[in-house]
Structure 1
Amino acid sequence: MTLQPHPAQRSLTPMVATFTVDDSARPHIAQLARPLAESTDSDWAYARDARRTAWFLHHTFKAALDTFQTDGGGLLIRGLDVTGVPPTPDSPGVAPTRNTVMAAQTAVLLAHLAHPVAYRAEGGGALIQSVLPTRADQWKQTSTGSGEDLESHTEQAFGTDSRPNYLGLGCLRGDPNAATYLLSVHVLIRHLPAQVLALLRQRKFHTGVDESFVRGGADDTARGPFAVIAGTEDNPVLTYDADMMSSESPRHAEALKHVQSVWKEHRVAVTLMPGDVLLISNDTAIHGRSAFFPRWDEGDRWLARVQGITDLDVVRRLCQPQSIIIESRDT
């Protein structure tokens, strides 16, 4: 097993490193993950077991994950076992995503980096989320949309301490026209004028709440003020949503346009294929997705999404005992 750029993705580095799983390692991680896929335990037990299973990952997986944890951006893992995938459902609510080996592998890989968590207001509190196109959301800015680009954002930009630090997207079924876009905070900063960067570091920005959370009962009042780029010079942290973020200050509103310009010019595109897992640092990368056109024939794009928090103590007060569901609908 080697850590190397995939031939089709060499241009992604350094924002997205690529780790290709060889034939000898593929059965090993699938075997590790299979008990999770077959589990009927609670999501709390599933998350606990994913963390325990991550200890047994091959050392080359751990090396790639540890390097990603330091560098940030994204890590694309290619070549995982993805056999036995059923037809793509027409609704996330009925999708058997949790019981697939692909979802379990995604959870185990993410669990090496963070504690898997769920959010009560999003997807009914499901730990393993189903990302697939629906007719009802085709033209909406949600993960179940498809007809237009999903705008650049950090996940839950409206959140505070409870937003995820990492995302894992495991591909059960891909679409050649659906590109996942990503831009590292370091690349963003490199291409911003100094005066714009100074404005983005000020707490002058507000953002709305994702529609998926509002549907689940979250208060839709705008949140903020935030800085788009917080943290230190060496360890910057992003909070951004192109669709929902604004500022009352004309100068700061203009600074947001600079972010979008850098996004359009310097983002990288990853077309997820079956057996791929894309891990994203939500603190150090903006992500989005291109438009694509489902066929509605049970063969459409289908991803498993898992979210993780590095310090569970930060959100423990928002969870019930023995639960990884963050209950606050105002998160």
Structure 2
Amino acid sequence: MTPAESQAAATLAESLLARFGDPVSSEFLETAPFLGGELPESVARAIRAFRYGDATDALVISGLPVTAGPTPPHWNHPDAQAPHMADFWLALIMAQLGDAVSWSSLQGGQLVNNILPIQKQENLQTGHSSDVVLDLHIEDAFSNLRCDHLGLISLRNDDMIPTTAVGISSIDVTGPEYAPLFEPRYVIHPDDEHLRNLREAGVNEGELLAAPTAVLSGSPQAPDVRLDPPYMSALPGDVEADRALQLLIMELSANVEDVALAPGEILIVDNHRALHGRKPFTARYDGTDRWLRRLTTVKDLRRSRVARSEASSRIIDPVLEPLPASLELTGAGR
């Protein structure tokens, strides 16, 4: 944004905070899709091109001036739950792409999630790790009800730690070596954060195995992708499918771009066409660590009604089709 647009964006975000108070209130979420005309024209134009075009898998919007207090030690800390003007800016932009949703198994069913390092979770494959590479993945790839778009806004990133991103459009998957990826020869599990919270809720892990799925779908010239390497595997004994999977991961990894989000910058990812991750860093746990907010949206809220307790709810309960016992995997993604 230009300096004038940045100031207008900050004024707009502050006015929304004052008017609505809570970025996940029904009043704001139902109003936000109709407030697109208040966005700076350059932002509105970029969002339209991103939503309706076919040339961009991810989008960065820069320019919102943001200051934040110390990075909280945990997502459930009161300071991590307090509404911020950046939440309204993120939610307003994401509302132009769809309706906000989240999961009952993530951060207590909060719609706006916190991405920050948490002690004793340094080595997990979740947004709360730090010591390890967060592998490239599609958000909630295990579920047919996964989001269509993912938005991340930076509140603090003093060390400019990169989010990583790559679009499926960066590689050519029309060759015969990729053909197995278009067939339901893979199983994807929920990630550690979903699993931990579901176990605490008394859900039997054996009920969380998903039915076989394809990794790629649609046109080979412009496919959708469904990939979460740490939590997936080809079906047992399917060497050809595993070879195709490893080739895809290798090719995508070779085309990764780093996106180090400064405070106020938003990264929007098409969750059907682009993968994202994060490079490792050393967490200090002193209030200066990287802190992002995350919001996910779907184009068709009705599609998840079967997994929401009531029509007004935006929180989805994981619903998985059981995997036949003969195809159960051993150790995948554990």
Q: Does the residue aligned with 2:229 lie in a helix, a strand or coil?
A: coil
Q: Would you tell me which structure has more strand in proportion to its own residues?
A: 1
Name the counterpart of 2:163.
180
- Of 31, 48, 60 in structure 2, the residue corresponding to residue 49 of structure 1 is 31
Partners of 2:168 and 2:311 in 1: CA distance: 36
| Structure 1 position 325 matched with structure 2 position 315 | yes
Query: Cα 1:328–1:200, aligned 2, differ >3 Å: closer, same or farther?
Result: closer
Question: 1:235 offset after TM fit, Å?
Answer: 4.2
The 5 Å alignment of 1:45-194 reads 45-69=27-51, 70=53, 71-83=55-67, 85-94=68-77, 95-96=79-80, 99-160=83-144, 162-176=145-159, 178-188=161-171, 190=172, 192=173, 194=175
Partners of 2:204 and 2:224 in 1: CA distance: 25
After TM superposition, the structure 1 stretch with the greater mean CA deviation from structure 2, 60-69 or 32-41, is: 32-41
Q: Is the 8 A contact 1:175 1:272 kept in 2?
A: no
Question: 1:145 offset after TM fit, Å?
Answer: 0.5
Question: 1:76 offset after TM fit, Å?
Answer: 0.8
Q: Which amino acid aligns with 1:106?
A: L
Name the counterpart of 2:2.
22
The 5 Å alignment of 1:124-273 reads 124-160=108-144, 162-176=145-159, 178-188=161-171, 190=172, 192=173, 194-217=175-198, 220=205, 221-247=208-234, 248=236, 249-273=238-262
Q: Does the residue aligned with 2:295 lie in a helix, a strand or coil?
A: strand
Q: Is the 8 A contact 1:36 1:49 kept in 2?
A: no
Q: Which amino acid aligns with 1:49?
A: T
After TM superposition, the structure 1 stretch with the greater mean CA deviation from structure 2, 41-50 or 175-184, is: 41-50
Partners of 1:329 and 1:215 in 2: CA distance: 16
Partners of 2:319 and 2:15 in 1: CA distance: 32
Partners of 2:120 and 2:32 in 1: CA distance: 33
Query: Cα 1:50–1:96, aligned 2, differ >3 Å: closer, same or farther?
Result: farther
Q: TM-score normalized by structure 2?
A: 0.86
Q: Is the 8 A contact 2:154 2:293 kept in 1?
A: yes
Name the counterpart of 1:8.
none
Name the counterpart of 1:12.
none
After TM superposition, the structure 1 stretch with the greater mean CA deviation from structure 2, 210-219 or 100-109, is: 210-219
Question: 1:32 offset after TM fit, Å?
Answer: 2.2
Partners of 1:281 and 1:40 in 2: CA distance: 26
Q: Does the residue aligned with 1:315 lie in a helix, a strand or coil?
A: helix
Q: Is the 8 A contact 2:23 2:88 kept in 1?
A: no
Query: Cα 1:282–1:322, aligned 2, differ >3 Å: closer, same or farther?
Result: same
Q: Which amino acid aligns with 1:25?
A: E
Q: Is the 8 A contact 1:44 1:323 kept in 2?
A: no
Question: 1:328 offset after TM fit, Å?
Answer: 4.1
After TM superposition, the structure 1 stretch with the greater mean CA deviation from structure 2, 86-95 or 162-171, is: 86-95
Partners of 1:172 and 1:303 in 2: CA distance: 6
Deviation digits for residues 83-107 of structure 1, max 9, x if unmatched?
3x11110000114355111121111
- In structure 1, stretches of 5+ residues that fail to align are 1-20
Partners of 2:15 and 2:316 in 1: CA distance: 25
Q: Is the 8 A contact 2:143 2:318 kept in 1?
A: no
Partners of 2:274 and 2:88 in 1: CA distance: 24
Query: Cα 1:33–1:53, aligned 2, differ >3 Å: closer, same or farther?
Result: farther
After TM superposition, the structure 1 stretch with the greater mean CA deviation from structure 2, 228-237 or 288-297, is: 228-237
Deviation digits for residues 66-125 of structure 1, max 9, x if unmatched?
111223411011111203x11110000114355111121111111111111121111111
- In structure 2, stretches of 5+ residues that fail to align are 322-334
Partners of 1:149 and 1:109 in 2: CA distance: 29
Query: Cα 1:223–1:201, aligned 2, differ >3 Å: closer, same or farther?
Result: same
Query: Cα 1:230–1:175, aligned 2, differ >3 Å: closer, same or farther?
Result: farther
Q: Is the 8 A contact 1:98 1:104 kept in 2?
A: no
After TM superposition, the structure 1 stretch with the greater mean CA deviation from structure 2, 299-308 or 310-319, is: 310-319
Q: Does the residue aligned with 1:139 lie in a helix, a strand or coil?
A: coil
